[in-house]
Amino acid sequence: MNMKHIIKAAAAAVTSVAALGALTVPALAQDGKGVADLSQHGAAQRIATIGSVNAKNVILFIGDGMGDSEITVARDYLHGANGSFDGLDKIGQPGALGDAAAGTGQYTTFSLGYSSDNGKYPKAGGVNNNPGVITPVTDSSASGSSWATGTKTYNNAVDVDIYGNPQLNLFELAKAKGMTTGNVTTSEIQDATPAVLESHSTERSCYGPQGKTDGSSNNAAKQCRAEQLKENGGIGSISEQLLDTRADVTIGGGAKYFRQTAQAGEYQGKTLWDQAKARGFQTVENNVDEFSKLQYQENKPVLALLGDGNLPTEFNATPALDQAATIKRGALQCSVNEAWLGNKTAAGNSASLADMTNKALDVLQANPKTNENGFFLQVEGASIDKQDHAANACGQIGETDDLDKAISAALNHVDLSNTLIIVTADHAHTSQIVNEPPAYALSTILKSPVDGAEIVVSYGTATAVDPDATDASKGYNDGGMEHTGTQLRIAASGPGAQRVIGLTDQTDNFYTIGKALGLATETGDQKNLSADAKVNVVARDGKYYADLTGFNGDAVVSYELRDGATNQVIAASNNSTPVSGVRIAPGQTTEIPLDLVEGKNYRLTVTGRQSGAVAAPAFTAPAASAADKGNGNNNGNNNGGVIAQGQAKLDKGDSANGLLGNTGSAIIGAVLFILAVGAAALAVKFAKARR
């Protein structure tokens, strides 16, 4: 671009905001709002009055733990103090990307309810897991839940509110609109940041039906709330819900957890890999060359997990040392990790985050649904956080580089006139740039290969060896450094980018994305997504099922089956907690097996637990074999194997009249959840804001 073009582009970039629309719901931040207020859907928004414009597609880049300090550490080392990231620094920069709208700002990231049980910091009365307070420092799950759902919640929560009620997330809402979806990360795909697009889980550690194992053992009782497990009538672990969610592209680590075996349900006894294949996924397990060959295939979503745990980092570790040892060691430079997937295989393939982003965009863009309805893709550079926890300066720098290059890759793939790109982080972290190794903190001296500056990176929020660092269940080297609670940078380019200017909250990001894509961001609109829900009672292969479609305003449904003659309940879902019941496969058909006796009369009542929509077909069970052939429909609707059809009725009244677990007014669900917390004799592990 010559100078004239740059100037013109710059002017255009800052001009295009003129098209910003406006919304009607004011929910501006107020001083002193407490947990009860802030836990409501959308209640922590700061800029509800600022409008948005339409985008067809959104890419959300998350640098996990990538606070401004982490950005500066990496820029100073990789590009020089006055240098620039090729991708990261272009997003939000007026004029840097032609005439794309651009904006930068800061957002707040606090969460709700202390969730630390490690006893290091006893509070008055010794009560730790205190839902009545605001937590100044978020973890990745509460922060991810914020932008994925628009609802503030507790550290450890994945898309459930502080009472445990599932909150609809951006993938569910995008699927309701017919969009395609992609989820890319360098971490285990079950880790919090990718998990918030796949699942609703009261415990972020509930990775699979056997907990956090490779399937050779089972620690689910430790890692999951019991009621969420399928064998107890729950909606299932994060990995199982990932398969229900069925994103069009899923790429990351955590392959070993898919070697676990389902403990209940249709796929009981099968591994999750087998389940994925049975459900039509294109799967890749730990093979970069196979990954490289993946292409879009109709109704064959991509599930590529390229490492058993988190993916190897780009740079080798440079652990921080105490002052004397750091000075003795002198200035270091970073070296590329041989295990990094960004290195070429013998066949010439690689899987850097940029490669993964390219693959995701190739697959999404080849999908005809994308052409029609657009896509939403999240790309996470996960190990900036993990390497910062480990006090590893080169580690975090390499991961920032990997993310930056993924952004550049995306910029080569999309049209910023219809695609909004957002780059931000979930929380800030420990690392600080100082001029000398401090006396207290651990530190590392780096010498930039670009401008020769010596950069001292200091880590001061933990001791060198933290007991948790040896906790193998975490799957990564957690050096114990802590997240920090400062406001964070958010940057955006493309339609609606200016909505990030000024001070926003992390929950505003849900609205920025959701409104740009025309998704149902408000609770009422979300309930209406189930207005066309239907329940078809069918027979297939000699068995009876309820096929649920259109429950797009719900994450979970409950059902009960009554004997038509006696009105006795003869089968029902478990509704004991908000994460009990039947998980909806968003935008797809959700199947409930029914055990019917030929010739008997039944009433099946299916209730959307978020929307309150109720469908209650009554019917007489025909011979399953007859129904299978399209006969025996006792309601006069002969639609293939359909025995009966129930059209949902939506409760449009006061939410107090709603059913269990209505989004945003979860009184009954809350009581149940709290009872469950009190009653369950489970070793529930609440995470610190550490992951």
**Which residues line the annotated binding site for Zn(2+)?**
64, 385, 389, 426-427, 483
Q: Max Cα separation, the chain?
A: 85
Measured from the CB atom, the residue of 8 and 300 that comes closer to a copy of itself is 8
Structure tokens at 516: 């740009």
143 is a catalytic site residue = no
Residue positions in the annotated binding site? Answer: 64, 191, 193, 380, 385, 389, 426-427, 483
Does residue 593 belong to the site contacting a copy of itself (CB under 8 A)? Answer: no
Does residue 505 belong to the site contacting a copy of itself (CB under 8 A)? Answer: yes
Measured from the CB atom, the residue of 105 and 632 that comes closer to a copy of itself is 105
Judge whether 550 and 649 are in contact, CB under 8 Å: no
Residues in contact with a copy of itself, shown as a per-residue x/- string from 61 to 90 under the rule CB under 8 A: ------xxx-xx--xx--xxxxxx----x-
Q: List binders of a copy of itself among 287-346 (CB under 8 A).
A: 327, 330-331
Residue with token string 């629309």 = 21
User: Looking at 372-380, 403-411, 482-490, 508-516, which segment touches a copy of itself (CB under 8 A)?
Assistant: 482-490
Amino acid at 381: G
CB of 456 to a copy of itself, least distance (A): 8
| Distance from C-alpha of 361 to C-alpha of 241, rounded to nearest angstrom | 23
Closest CA relative to residue 230, chosen from 195, 265, 274: 265
Q: List binders of a copy of itself among 39-58 (CB under 8 A).
A: 44, 46-47, 49-51
DSSP code at position 156? T
Q: Name which position in 106, 219, 343, 408 contacts a copy of itself (CB under 8 A).
A: 106
Q: Name which position in 59, 62, 100, 137 contacts a copy of itself (CB under 8 A).
A: 137
Q: In this structure, what are the phi and psi dihedrals at residue 125, rounded to the nearest 5 degrees?
A: 85, -5
Q: Name which position in 353, 382, 462, 684 contacts a copy of itself (CB under 8 A).
A: 462
Q: List binders of a copy of itself among 241-270 (CB under 8 A).
A: none
User: Looking at 223-231, 394-402, 495-503, 629-637, which segment touches a copy of itself (CB under 8 A)?
Assistant: 495-503
Q: Name which position in 26, 348, 599, 636 contacts a copy of itself (CB under 8 A).
A: 26
Residues in contact with a copy of itself, shown as a per-residue x/- string from 110 to 129 under the rule CB under 8 A: x---x-x-x-xxxxx-----
| Distance from C-alpha of 21 to C-alpha of 512, rounded to nearest angstrom | 12
Total interface residues for a copy of itself by CB under 8 A: 112
Q: Catalytic one among 52, 140, 199, 493? A: 140
Q: Chain-centre distance of CA 376, in angstroms? A: 12
| Distance from C-alpha of 204 to C-alpha of 154, rounded to nearest angstrom | 11
Q: CA 374, 378, 380: angle at the middle one, nearest 5? A: 160
Q: Name which position in 225, 386, 474, 489 contacts a copy of itself (CB under 8 A).
A: 489
3-state secondary structure of 9: helix
Residues in contact with a copy of itself, shown as a per-residue x/- string from 419 to 458 under the rule CB under 8 A: ---------x-x-xxxxxxxxxxx-----x-xxxxxxx-x
Closest CA relative to residue 444, chosen from 91, 73, 28, 159: 73
| Distance from C-alpha of 603 to C-alpha of 605, rounded to nearest angstrom | 6
DSSP code at position 328? H
Judge whether 104 and 423 are in contact, CB under 8 Å: no
CB of 559 to a copy of itself, least distance (A): 38
Residue with token string 């709002």 = 33
- Break the chain down into helix, strand, coil percent, rounded to 5: 30, 20, 50
Measured from the CB atom, the residue of 493 and 577 that comes closer to a copy of itself is 493
Structure tokens at 74: 């990496």
Does residue 487 belong to the site contacting a copy of itself (CB under 8 A)? Answer: yes
Provide the H-helix boundaries in 205-342: 220-223, 238-245, 272-278, 288-293, 323-329
Measured from the CB atom, the residue of 432 and 523 that comes closer to a copy of itself is 432
Residue positions in the annotated binding site for Mg(2+)? Answer: 64, 191, 193, 380
Q: Which residues are catalytic?
A: 140
